[in-house]
Structure 1
Amino acid sequence: MTSDDLRLRLRGLMDPDRAVRDLRDYFGVGGAPGAVRYTGSRFESLGGGGDRPETADTVTAEDLIAVQTLSVRVPAPVALDLLEGELGVRMSGLLRAIPAGLDMADAGATHLAEGSPADAAWKLLCEQPRIGWVTAGKLLARKRPRLLPVYDQVVRCVLGGPESVWLGLCAALQADERALHHALAELRQRAGLPEHISVLRVCDVVLWMRHRKEHRRTGCAEV
Structure 2
Amino acid sequence: MHLSAEPLSVTLPPRAAIWVLGDGQARICAELDKLPTDVDLWERPDLMRPGGPMLNLWRLLSRDANWPESRPGGNDVGIAKTSKLIAAKRPRLAPILDSVVCDALGPVKDRWEAFAHAMIDPKRRDRIERAVPDGVEIGVLRAVDVVVVWMAGRHPRSDDSPPVAMQ
Q: TM-score range by the shorter chain?
A: 0.7 to 0.9
Specify the SS of the correspondent of 1:201: helix
Specify the SS of the correspondent of 2:109: coil
For the 8 Å contact 1:110–1:116, the answer to whether it is kept is: yes
Whole-angstrom distance in 2 between the partners of 1:130 and 1:179: 38
Q: In the alignment, which residue of structure 2 is the partner of 1:115? A: 51
* Aligned counterpart in structure 2 of residue 90 of structure 1, from 14, 17, 27: 27
1:105-184 correspondence to structure 2 within 5 Å: 105-107=42-44, 109-127=45-63, 128=65, 129-175=75-121, 178-184=122-128
Please give the per-residue CA displacement for 1:33-88, whole angstroms capped at 9, x wherever unaligned: xxxxxxxxxxxxxxxxxxxxxxxxx342x32x334x2xx521112112222x1211
For the 8 Å contact 2:32–2:57, the answer to whether it is kept is: yes
Share of identical aligned residues, percent? 26
* Aligned counterpart in structure 2 of residue 101 of structure 1, from 38, 41, 48: 38
The TM-score with structure 2 as length reference comes to: 0.79
The TM-score with structure 1 as length reference comes to: 0.61
Unaligned stretches of 5+ residues in structure 2: 66-74
For the 8 Å contact 1:111–1:118, the answer to whether it is kept is: yes
Aligned AA for 2:114?
Answer: G
Whole-angstrom distance in 1 between the partners of 2:38 and 2:13: 29
Query: For residues 59 and 214 of structure 1, do their structure 2 counterparts lie closer, same or farther at Cα, with a shift above 3 Å needed?
Result: farther
* Aligned counterpart in structure 2 of residue 186 of structure 1, from 124, 130, 133: 130
| Pair 1:208-2:122 in alignment | no
Please give the per-residue CA displacement for 1:186-220, whole angstroms capped at 9, x wherever unaligned: 222xx12433x1100001101101213665xx9xx
Using CA pairs below 8 Å that are at least 6 residues apart, which structure has the higher relative contact order? 1
* Aligned counterpart in structure 1 of residue 19 of structure 2, from 61, 66, 81: 81
Whole-angstrom distance in 2 between the partners of 1:123 and 1:206: 27
Specify the SS of the correspondent of 1:86: coil
Whole-angstrom distance in 2 between the partners of 1:161 and 1:208: 17
Q: What stretches of structure 1 move > 2 A for 4+ residues in a row?
A: 212-215
Whole-angstrom distance in 1 between the partners of 2:101 and 2:13: 24
For the 8 Å contact 2:86–2:94, the answer to whether it is kept is: yes
For the 8 Å contact 1:155–1:208, the answer to whether it is kept is: yes
Unaligned stretches of 5+ residues in structure 1: 1-57
For the 8 Å contact 1:146–1:198, the answer to whether it is kept is: yes
Displacement, 1:132? 1.4
CA RMSD of aligned residues (A): 2.2
Please give the per-residue CA displacement for 1:97-141, whole angstroms capped at 9, x wherever unaligned: 00111112322x321111110110001111131111221111101
Alignment coverage as a number of residue pairs: 149
Specify the SS of the correspondent of 1:150: coil
